[in-house]
Amino acid sequence: MQFRAIVPEILGEIERGQVEDTAKYSFCSQTEYPHAFDTFKWLSLALPAQRYRESRNPVLSPPAPPSPPSPVWLEDVNGAIRGSRSNLERFRRVYASCVIYASVKAPLPDHRRRSMTVCERLRNPCGWRAGAKQISVDAMLPLVVVPILAVIAAQAFLCTVAVFLVTPVFVYYLHHNFLRFLLRTKFFLMWTITSVLMMMLVFEISVVPLLEILPEENLVFMVCVVGGMWCGYKTKLNADASIQENAGVVDVLELGDGSGELCATCRRRIPPKAHHCRLCQTCILNREYHCKWLDCCVGSSNLRWYVSCLFFSAIAFIYGSNLTMTSVCHPFILIGTILLPDDCSDVYHQLDIALCFVSALYSLFVGLVLFCYLIYHLWLLYIGTTSNERRLDMKNQSDYRMLNVSQLFCCKT
């Protein structure tokens, strides 16, 4: 539903007293109507900081309910939508009243209110100068959950199957009920870091001492791991630098005549093939998608690093999984010096060996997923488009084919 049609509907329902229906259009409902949410957030910049904070968090500091809006405000909204700058201030007041009125009359669900209260009260008392600092529960959770799941999966074969089946459901439940209400969560980034560190420690502490791996094989594995970590770090670093550069773009209302297209969300002039990211709150040039596992957007500023990260990480995970399985299982020779695991029936007799086997299965699964992502992005580069444009069904594919892939690493973007 477009913003041009949703605002009169909001005000009309408030005027008729249908607060329950109006609550779904409130500021908190960002996942259902992203266009209205982004435009509302742009308008909220004109509000005072305290009033904006109260409208964002009505549970902790609920504001007093204002009087119902008058019918004449609909005309102000329609005038502001048509671009009348004289009605812009009245449009902002309409927005503030709508959000506060709907949020006060329609409280959040009990489970979300309790989770917000717990997250607010969890603080680290060891802060020296700044006092007690708030603990990010979503960022700390993977540090505990990932090792516990690995130990549980190492108990028996049925436990391994159960953990590998339940973990995606568990992550989806957390995201659907809690994490999606956070604008930028560190849960998936910390899950990535914890998984990589855990598999590296298991490999170096438990697999290498078995003396089944040559020093050259260990060196190749470590080079791929370090290469993947470095490229992932550069991917996020370049994405953050690109966001800071885009944040300095002048608002189109103050710019007057400008070049480029007009973003319907942030109201700024943007170059062609730039798209808005709701999580990063800015427009990204040649935006692919927002990678939650790296907590950044993938675009022209970091695409080469992202593809390199996929390449090195896929090799590291798959190669490390093969080295681990051929060390803890009975291997057989495939071709020359290439070994593959044959019989892994006795890996659960010792906890450390079972932990190596579970880590190898996890590494193999992640490596295959990353390899599929690598092939998919190379194919998008080959046809000259992005995943975001393909999702929006834009017909702007390039005919240069292999030149597109070579330009990714040979030319500056």
Query: Which tokens hold the place of 121?
Result: 């009260």
Q: What does the pLDDT average to over 160-168?
A: 94
Written as six digits, the tokens of 35 are: 């266009």
Q: What is the distance in angstroms between the CA of the first residue and the CA of the last residue of the chain?
A: 35
Q: Is the pLDDT of residue 40 over 70?
A: no
Average pLDDT over residues 292-301: 87
Q: What is the pLDDT of residue 63?
A: 41
Highest mean pLDDT among 37-51, 133-147, 337-351: 337-351
Candidates 400, 281, 305, 382; CA nearest to 34 is 281
For the cut 80, the answer to whether the pLDDT of residue 120 exceeds it is no
Inter-residue contact 37 to 30 (CB < 8 Å): yes
The full 3-state SS of 144-180, as one line of letters, equals HHHHHHHHHHCCCHHHHHHHHHHHHHHHHHHHHHCHH
Residue 150's pLDDT band (boundaries 50, 70, 90)?
very high
Token pair recorded at residue 20? 């329950």
Quick one: pLDDT at residue 172?
87
Each residue of 80-100: pLDDT tens digit? 444 444 444 555 555 554 544
**pTM of this structure:** 0.66
Least confident range from 115-119, 155-159, 209-213, 361-365: namely: 115-119
Query: In the structure, what pLDDT confidence band is assigned to residue 114 with cuts at 50, 70 and 90?
Result: low
Higher pLDDT pick, 399 / 231? 231
Q: Which residue has the higher pLDDT, 245 or 280?
A: 280
Does residue 22 contact residue 14 with C-beta atoms inside 8 Å? yes
CA distance 94 to 156: 61
Q: Range with the lowest mean pLDDT among 131-140, 241-250, 263-272, 369-378? A: 241-250
**Three-class SS state of 124:** strand
CB neighbourhood size of 201 (10 A):
12
Residue-wise pLDDT for 221-245, tens only, equals 999 999 999 999 999 988 877 666 6
- CB proximity list for 126: less than 8 A, separation 6 or greater: none
* pLDDT surpassing 60 at residue 35: no
Q: Which of 94-103, 147-156, 306-315, 389-398 has the lowest mean pLDDT?
A: 94-103
**What letter does residue 281 receive in the DSSP assignment?**
T
Give the pLDDT of residue 158.
94
